[in-house]
A and B are shown apart, each in its own frame.
Chain A
Amino acid sequence: MPHKTFFAFILPSLIAMVLFIALPIVSVVVQSLYVEHPRILVEVENCQPFGGCTKEVRVDSAAMQDLERSQPMGQFNGLGTYLNRGHLAVDEIGAILADNTGPGDVLSRIYNLPFYKALAFTLVFCFVVTPLAMALGFVIALAVNAVPKVIKGPVIFFSLLPMIITPLVGSLILYWMIQSNGIIGASLQHLFNDPTLSLRASPLLTWLSLLFYGVWSNAPFSFVVFYAGLQTVPGDTLESAMIDGASRWERIRYVIIPHLMPLATFVALVQLMDNFRVFEPIVGFSAEANATSLSWMVFNDLSGDAQLFGSAGATSVLTIIGVIILLTPVLIRTWRDFNHKVV
């Protein structure tokens, strides 16, 4: 296809991506180097008829507005935002490492820094939910493959629901059930005979319920992909394994799992990518006191009364770096595949 025709076809799509994905990334990087203007304070004398005069320090709102109009980005801060307490917290980490009572102390104090707290939950969510959801999806696929055809359709229909549902809506539905006055929360209280048991109060239980939501909503994707993969397992290989006396388990272990391996890599990749942006369940479960994620930090900076663009920008850039680290192995592999094709 000639270059000119190619670009005529792809130009609209390319413009959309450059304007609204590539440029915003640049804008985020620039924003992260700036910080909000300090407040301009003026001293005002407040005189009352009786009681004399008091001096008061106020924010000069007129001057602030002028300044914000002339420099909407705020003032240049360099890498200051990245290194402050809300992000990489370099000074605080240095202090913790210099003066501590053991590795446990170091970890718990680092965990109390907001960025590392969010990073910890994001990574745990990624690397716990992805394998568990894939395992569950694989088992469901094996089970569904074994039931009669009539049941398969409805089973697939209901299995798709947790995945297709709006993440915020799905997490709200689960949250309402596990609340202490919802059906599951109340039953658990009854079961353990502990009327104060509440999934919200304890950090551990909050994490567990968020991880449960993650597995619940991620498993259907693995199930559908693995189920489709099971239909393509070569019958001859299975049959010859049976003739050789392989048991059911051995057939799964040595024929089916190796056959599904390429699919598993694909599923793992997509789910890691999606789980790294975990955000809606934290809003839905109102879990921000015990669990935060990188995306949630950005959202929180932006949705307050004073929008902290600098801080949100710095967290965004750090998140993007995280995504690129996660993606590197895939990119390298795709690059190699492409070069093989060309040669």
Chain B
Amino acid sequence: MSEATQSQRRPLALNLLITAFIVFWLVLAAFPFVWTVWGSFKVEPDFFSRESWWNAIFGTYTKAQTGSAFTGEGYYGAWVTREFWRAVGNTAIVTLSVTVISLTLGTLGGYALARSGQRYAFWILIAALVFRAMPHITLVSGYLLPFFQLNIWGVLPTSIIVLVAINQPFTLWMLHSFFLSIPKDLDESAMVDGCSRFEAFRRVIIPVMWPGVVTTGLFSFLLAYNDFATTSMLLSADNQTMVPKISSFLGSVQEAGNVMYAVAAVVSATVPLFILVLFFQRQIVSGLTAGAVKG
């Protein structure tokens, strides 16, 4: 049955209802972002207008204060005055390192779990499932005291290792189910030809594993990028990544009347995610469904 015949048979009222609902959902999903991006180029009395929100659209006060309907003051204040670029750099270091390290550990571990079939492999997976459910902040309260004692609190490498560890359970599950979908014969025939297990992994599995690794990598990236609980507690003020930096803006900036710095920082932090979804939509969707449809 083709799509065309199906939609032809649908009554007009139902078609209208479906269209209306989709439009409603799109507005709900996208309007907050559009509005905030638009508002980030205004001054505070416009975006947080006490008179009328039409001010935010026409930029009444923005014109009065800066002479133009759009202003980059918020961005200048956040990036230059309050040194948001430093936080952006830290986020880049943390997310890249976390993604690379967790994929390296995860592919090795996931491959072993997929090929083992022993009882303890099952128990490791179950333990990983329980670990995956632990709220991150409860783990953080266990880190703080030891990290103070060892004097490794506040620096980027500590947070990177912690995020890699928090990420492992998910990475293991995802790559384990991906490696299960690669036929066993492939690496076993390589081993019959005289490869050791590790050589078989390197020569036969690595060339075919990239689709699964890219998908898993996207989610590792998102976890590290979106984290607030861990990085806000484990990083000192100088080493903060974007998300804790934004939250520290809220504490100090709101008093100074410069909420627009925080708005500009929020928009800046959203842009990479937009680009990510734009280019990797297919992988994200397949990654979300892979776990569900198989497991």
Contacts and interface: CB of A to CB of B under 8 A. Distances in A.
Interface of A: 1, 3, 5-6, 8-10, 12-14, 16-17, 19-28, 31, 72-73, 139-140, 143-144, 146-149, 151, 153, 155-162, 164-169, 172-174, 176-177, 179, 181-183, 186-187, 216, 220-221, 224-225, 228-229, 232, 235, 239, 248, 263, 266-267, 273, 276-277, 279-280, 283, 286, 294-295, 298-299, 301-303, 307, 309, 312-313, 316-317, 319-320, 323-324, 326-327, 330-331, 334-335, 338
Interface in B100-146: 104-106, 108-109, 111-113, 115-118, 121-122, 124, 126-146
Given A5-B197, A24-B139, A161 B293 contact: no
A16 B165 contact: yes
A224 B133 contact: no
A161 B30 contact: yes
B23 to A, nearest CB: 10
Nearest to B27: A158
A17 B30 CA distance: 38
A181 B29 contact: no
A168 B50 contact: no
Contacts of B106: 13
B285 interface: yes
17 contacts: A21-B169, A27-B142, A31-B145, A72-B145, A72-B148, A157-B277, A158-B29, A166-B228, A186-B52, A224-B289, A225-B288, A228-B289, A229-B293, A232-B293, A303-B232, A327-B130, A334-B129
A186 B54 CA distance: 11
A182 B130 contact: no
Given A21-B139, A168-B228, A160 B281 contact: yes
Interface in B200-258: 201, 222, 225-226, 228-229, 232-233, 243, 246-247, 250
B147 to A, nearest CB: 10
Given A72-B145, A323-B135, A12 B108 contact: yes
Contacts of A73: 145
Nearest to A159: B29
A20 B161 contact: yes
A334 B126 CA distance: 8
Nearest to A313: B141
Interface of B: 1, 3, 7, 10, 14, 18-19, 21-22, 25-26, 28-30, 32-33, 35-36, 39, 47-50, 52-53, 56, 104-106, 108-109, 111-113, 115-118, 121-122, 124, 126-146, 148-149, 161-162, 164-166, 168-169, 172, 197-198, 201, 222, 225-226, 228-229, 232-233, 243, 246-247, 250, 259, 262-263, 266, 269-270, 273-274, 276-278, 281, 284-285, 288-289, 291-293, 295
B145 A320 contact: no
B25 A303 contact: no
Contact of A266 (B104, B128, B143, B291): B291
Chain A to chain B: the 6 pairs with minimum beta-carbon distance, closest first:
A24-B142, A20-B165, A9-B112, A13-B109, A277-B135, A316-B138
A320 B138 contact: yes
A16 B105 contact: yes
Given A164-B277, A181-B48, A331-B126, A143 B25 contact: yes
Contacts of A295: 135, 137-138, 229
Contacts of A174: 32
Interface centre among B10, B225, B281 (most CB of A within 10 A): B281
A20 B162 contact: yes
A20 B228 contact: no
Contacts of B124: 10, 14
A210 B162 CA distance: 29
Contact of B30 (A16, A158, A301, A309): A158
Nearest to A330: B129
B266 to A, nearest CB: 5
Contacts of B131: 17, 21-22
Contact of A172 (B19, B142, B165, B262): B262
